[in-house]
Chains A and B, each alone.
Chain A
Amino acid sequence: MDAQKSRRQRLNELLETTKGKTYFVVFVTFGFTALMILMGLLPSYSAFVKQLEQNQRRAEHITNLKGKLSVMEDLVVENQEKEAIKNIFNKIMPNGFNQVDYVLEIEEFARTSGLGLNGLTFAISDDVANSIPSVRLDDKVRGMMINIQLDGDREALPEFILDLENSIRLYTIKDLTSIRKSDGELAEDGFLRPYRFTLLVETYYFDTQVQDE
């Protein structure tokens, strides 16, 4: 009690003179300002700056996401607009192999070039990716070997090969043999188709059942 009274007394004594009041104002001002800077201004400023940085990162993230979204939306629109082209592509590089489509096309090529289709056999080819070392293919690419036997004139063969190689379906000729038939064979079919052409052609499809690595 005495100590408190003594402090108050000392304060009153200090404030009685302008010199004392000046010291008091300077002390209070510095004290208040320092306290405000340390307890209020610096933490708030630090939090403000951190939040601002986080917001900038968020803004960048939003820009990236919006870019991706825009690409995705454009692709969806393009996908819908180009449905017809996509359907054609699905036939020329199909997910899975449809032999009937190939038989019909090869038959058509043989017919238009004036060759007789004598036989057509299919066999799955092994390890397509490694069989063409110059290209890097997806694991899901599979090959199908088609053995085509044709009869006819040698003049008709280039047209058939042209059709095959110009087809938007992929046909890679692996082996081509043109053999003149024996006299007996020629006599059998009335000398109409003097040559037998055997083509080993590889075509490709995408096997969606293969799991991604």
Chain B
Amino acid sequence: MPVKRPFNLLQPIKPALTLWDKIYDWVLWRARIVILVTIILITGIFVGKVVVDTDAKNKTKEIASVESRLKVLETAYESEFRNLFRREDDYEELWNVGSAYTAVIQEIGSYIGGNVNLNVRVQDNKITIFGTEDLSVLNQVEVAMKSSTSFKNVFVNSLTVDSGQEGLNQGDYILSAEIVAAERPQL
């Protein structure tokens, strides 16, 4: 028995959407968006990870390259430079504490004069003048040294008048003083 087919040219009338149909449509679109966003985020993170991994590899290569260049230079020069710097530092230190007696020797020379029998010793910023000479010379040197700013604590340590020679006011003596500020220009 043949099946009877209905024949209708009118557009079928859809039934009205129920509340659940509306909710379903709304949820379906939101669900699509959520899944899409999740996939985009994951893809983005993966791409980012690939980028930072590549960056890490490049940086590791760069570190190796710079380190090898540095090692070559260090092997060739570092010990030489260190030695040079250490010597420079020591040189500067030693220069700054070096002696500076020129001015003092000149000054003493001007007090003592040319042809007198006096000896001079300079040691550890102390000056000692000793010898056998006329006491007026001693007096002259002592006064000059006491009035000079280059010396302090000017002191006659020993004085022995030669009584054997009458009329001569001569004696053995030791005159000592401390040298003030015998420092050279600093580096």
Query: CB within 8 Å of B: which residues of A?
Result: 17-19, 21-22, 25-26, 28-29, 32-33, 36-37, 40-41, 44-45, 47-48, 51-52, 54-55, 58-59, 61-62, 65-66, 68-69, 72-73, 75-76, 79, 86, 89, 92-93, 95, 132, 134-138, 140-141, 154-155, 157-158, 161-162, 165, 170-180, 194, 204, 206, 208
Neighbouring B residues of A206 by C-beta, 8 Å? 83, 86-87, 90
On whether the beta carbons of B109 and A158 are closer than 8 Å, the reply is yes
Neighbouring A residues of B49 by C-beta, 8 Å? 44, 47-48, 51
Neighbouring B residues of A208 by C-beta, 8 Å? 83
Q: How many A-B residue pairs have CB under 8 A?
A: 191
Say whether B84 faces chain A, with CB atoms less than 8 Å apart: yes
Query: Residue among A51, A75, A158 with the most chain B CB within 10 A?
Result: A158
Q: Please give me the residue from chain A that is nearest to B37 by CB atom.
A: A33
- Which single member of A51, A155, A178 contacts B53 (CB below 8 Å)? A51
B76-121 with Cβ < 8 A to chain A: 77-78, 80-81, 83-84, 86-91, 93-102, 105-106, 109, 112, 114-121
A75-B77 contact, Cβ under 8 Å, with A51-B52, A170-B91: yes
Q: How big is the B interface, by class?
A: 35 or more
Query: CB within 8 Å of A: which residues of B?
Result: 18, 20-21, 23-24, 27-28, 30-31, 34-35, 38-39, 41-42, 45-46, 48-49, 52-53, 55-56, 59-60, 62-63, 66-67, 69-70, 73-74, 77-78, 80-81, 83-84, 86-91, 93-102, 105-106, 109, 112, 114-124, 131, 184
